Amino acid sequence: MKKDVDSIVEQALNNIQSDRGETLFLLMELKGYLAVSKERYSESGAIAAKYVETLQRSNEQLVKLATLLQRRETKETNIELSDNDKQELFDIINKD
């Protein structure tokens, strides 16, 4: 199961990075186009906004993915204490 999840995570990261690269390229091309004259802003401003929105969504996807991975890692490293361990810790604390 973990291997399946790892493969899906890797694929998602690759997709996000690929989408970001393509969007950044298109945004740079558009910026060059817009630099020619201010009149071009009225015809292409909405496209630029969509590219920036796409980058913002990919940032959100990365944050969500990082959060899920962190939760999974925390669960995997979470150590359960036995009742005996808890009692020993309680006794140590009470001695001080």
DSSP secondary structure code for residue 62 in this structure: H
Pairwise pLDDT comparison (72 vs 34), residue with the higher score: 34
Instruction: Indicate the pLDDT class of residue 89, thresholds 50, 70 and 90.
Output: confident
> Residue 47: its pLDDT value, please?
92
Instruction: Indicate the pLDDT class of residue 77, thresholds 50, 70 and 90.
Output: confident
Residues 8-57: tens digit of each pLDDT: 888 888 999 999 999 999 999 999 999 999 889 899 989 999 999 999 99
Enter the pTM of the model.
0.64
Beta strands in the chain (DSSP E): none
C-alpha gyration radius of the chain: 25
54 within 8 A of 19, measured Cβ to Cβ? yes
Residue appearing with tokens 């990365």: 62
Nearest to 20 by CA among 66, 54, 53: 54
DSSP secondary structure code for residue 36 in this structure: T
Residue appearing with tokens 């969504």: 57
